[in-house]
């Protein structure tokens, strides 16, 4: 499976508690795309309207055919963009989507909201 088979879904609808006009996921999406370009990496990144984790923005999901899907919240644009890219690469390299605990960056370890099994 290639990195192109992995999609990072970024929730762009949640609002910042301090400023209702700020959408942390939209900011994270832009920063993620910029950083991927700067690092000359290809990774499918798609905005989604809601991942139903509104109290933990910014929130993303890693998904790929035949792999477990992870939903990860509490991501900070300043601190976690590179960690998330590294985590997505580990996810892509795994056989089933399960990244060993010790190989997960801190934002992945602490931010997991859910893990969903692949469809049969």
Q: Which domain holds residue 73?
A: 3-116
Ranges of beta strands (E only) in the chain are 7-11, 44-48, 60-63, 69-72, 112-116
CATH number for the domain harbouring residue 80: 3.40.30.10
Phi, psi of 6 (to 5 degrees): -90, 135
Question: Mean per-residue pLDDT for 55-70?
Answer: 95
Question: pLDDT by residue (tens digit) across 9-51?
Answer: 999 998 877 777 889 999 999 999 999 999 999 999 999 999 9
Average predicted confidence (pLDDT) for the chain: 92
Tokens of 75: 């991501």
Q: How many domains is the chain built from? A: 1
State residue 4's pLDDT score: 55
Do the bridges between strand 60-63 and strand 112-116 make them parallel or antiparallel, or are there none, so unpaired?
Answer: unpaired
Computed on alpha carbons and rounded to an integer, the radius of gyration of the chain in Å comes to 13
State residue 1's pLDDT score: 40
Alpha-carbon distance values, 89 to 15, 82, 97, 98 (Å): 28, 11, 10, 12
d(CA 11, CA 51): 6
d(CA 67, CA 119): 8
pLDDT at 2 over 60: no
Question: pLDDT by residue (tens digit) across 72-101?
Answer: 999 999 899 999 999 999 999 999 999 999
């Amino acid at each position: 499976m290639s990195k192109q088979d992995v999609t990072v879904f970024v929730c762009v609808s949640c609002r910042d508690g301090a400023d209702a006009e700020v959408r942390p996921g939209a900011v994270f999406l832009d920063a993620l795309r910029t950083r991927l370009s700067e690092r000359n990496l290809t990774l499918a990144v798609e905005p989604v309207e809601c991942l139903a984790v509104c109290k933990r923005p910014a929130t993303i999901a890693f998904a790929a055919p035949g792999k477990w899907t992870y939903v990860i919240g509490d991501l900070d644009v300043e601190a976690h963009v590179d960690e998330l890219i590294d985590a997505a690469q580990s996810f892509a390299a795994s056989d089933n989507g399960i990244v060993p605990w010790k190989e997960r960056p801190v934002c992945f370890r602490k931010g997991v909201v859910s893990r969903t099994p692949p469809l049969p």
